[in-house]
Amino acid sequence: MAGLIVRADAGFEALLGGVLILAGATGALAANDFPHPVGQPLIVAAGAALLGVAVYLWRADESALRVLAIGNAVTACLAVAWLALASGFSPTGAALVGATVGVLASLAFAQAVARHLTGRAAA
C-alpha cells in the first residue's frame, strides 16, 4: 500500500507538471491568473520542476513516506496562505491552487497513515 501511495504522489506531480507546462506554453494560464511576479515563464518552469519531482518519486520507495507527508502538508499550508494573503488570482488560478491544496492534503494524510501502519507492521 505504501508504495502505491508514493506512486500516486508521483502521478499527481506529473499530471500537475504537464498541465502547467501545456497551459503556460499555450497561454491558457498566464500572468493574470496568479499574483505578481508569476507569469508564463514561471508557470512553465514550475511545471518542468514538477516533472523532475515526479521522476524522482516514481523511483522512491516507502522509506520516503515521512518526508513526503511533511512536504505535502507544508506545501498545502503555504498554498492556503498564498491564496488567503495574496491578491491577483483569477478564478481559474484560484481553482487550480485550491484543487492542488486538496490533493496535497489528501496525499499527506494518506502518506502519514501508511507510514504509521508500515511502522506498526515492522515493530
Report in angstroms the alpha-carbon separations of 88 from 7, 67, 101, 122: 34, 32, 18, 48
- In this predicted structure, the answer to whether residue 100 has a pLDDT above a threshold of 60 is yes
Phi-psi region of 79 (alpha: psi -120 to 50; beta: other; left: phi over 0): alpha
Across all residues in the chain, what is the average pLDDT? Answer: 94
* Prediction pTM value: 0.91
Give CA 41 to chain center in angstroms. Answer: 18
Assign 1 a pLDDT band (cuts: 50, 70, 90): confident
> CA 100: distance to chain centroid?
6
pLDDT band at 118 (very low <50, low <70, confident <90, very high): confident
Per-residue pLDDT at 75 exceeds 80: yes
CA distance 20 to 34: 12
Task: Please give the average per-residue pLDDT across 57-82, as a whole number.
Answer: 95
**72 touches 107 (CB < 8 A):** yes
pLDDT of residue 120: 56
